[in-house]
Structure 1
């Protein structure tokens, strides 16, 4: 019985709502019809046009974000060794600074090509990253290496620019003390 009453109320509710709204008299037509103006509807842009426009806007946004490097990142970019750098096993890596986008580098070698930007580190190591490609270029005083983070492997190791070769030779001639060995005791 309850369901019957509830169903009846649900069906009659719209009729009660319509009965409460006041009816408005039909508007009288004006005696003089205003001059009709022709309106031409602009054709809406096609989905391809919208897609191209959106793609262009996204690309412009990416380029603007790419160009916006902090002063610290630009300082790191100044320390990057550029040119053709020899690596172990006869491999080589070529680093080129992008003149159109300061602070960005094109890193190429056998089977890879990345566009990298500097990333600040706490250790002072020069670190370039291609976040889209998943590659990292690490440069310390005596050597550099290129790693593929996605695959978890080194693409190039023991890469040395002429400046790094000089530092490596100096380390071989006068090795720094090991952190694992005790400090020498001063003689009195």
Structure 2
């Protein structure tokens, strides 16, 4: 009996060794299974997915007045970047886009008087000062675009260089330098 068991063990040992070394067979992915899209495909999907303004956001008259001062169009930024600000169909809302990012933004009150647009769903903020603007991702904790300047901001920055203002001193004139008015809004973008 021992001899029979030993003969069976010797005969099966090569098969057992092969079974231990063979990798498990891979299953073919099911059709329609979630696959990661190529970067070009991701960009195409992002660009063609409509962005709607949040219907829960109610803008005040003051917010709508601030929206009239938002610079629109293609705004060049540092390092060759560009931000495009386009009014949406809903009054006071803007589509703000830059390389790989799109946001539906609306005015938010600012204590400093700067124009501030936010997209709370996507965690982004557009801050427009007299001489420059910047786009920040609050989710990523970084600037997506900086030193952005519309033609009006370039002119304003040149005036500031020629006539520097000390913000720590009280204004000597009743009408201090203020942010220039924005150009009229162009046609609304589809949402």
Which bin holds the TM-score, normalised by the shorter protein? 0.5 to 0.7
1:92 aligns with 2:92: no
Deviation at 1:122, TM superposition (A): 1.6
Cα distance in 2 for residues equivalent to 1:64 and 1:111 = 24
Shift, 1:63, TM fit: 5.0
Consecutive unaligned residues in structure 1, runs of 5 or more: 1-61, 181-188
Number of equivalences? 117
The answer to whether residue 58 in structure 2 is matched with residue 81 in structure 1 is no
How far did residue 101 of structure 1 move? 0.4
Once the two structures are TM-superposed, the CA of residue 64 in structure 1 deviates from its matched residue by 3.7
Offset from partner CA, 1:112-146 (integer Å, 9 cap, x none):
11110110112111000000000000001100000
**2:97 match:** 108
Q: Distance in 2 between the 1:117 and 1:71 partners?
A: 13
The structure that is helix-richer by fraction is 1
Distance in 1, Cα, partners of 2:161 & 2:95: 31
- Residue number among 159, 166, 174 corresponding to 2:155 in the alignment: 166
Q: Bigger shift: 168-177 or 86-95?
A: 168-177
Equivalence for 2:126: 137
- In the alignment, which residue of structure 1 is the partner of 2:115? 126
For CA contacts below 8 A with separation 6 or more, give which structure has more relative contact order.
2
Q: Taking structure 2 as the reference length, what is the TM-score of the superposition? A: 0.58
Gaps of 5+ in 2: 1-52, 170-191
1:179 counterpart SS class: coil
Structure showing greater Rg: 1
The equivalent position to 1:177 in structure 2, one of 146, 157, 166, is 166
75 and 110 in structure 1: CA distance in 2 versus 1, 3 angstrom threshold: same
TM-score (norm 1): 0.59
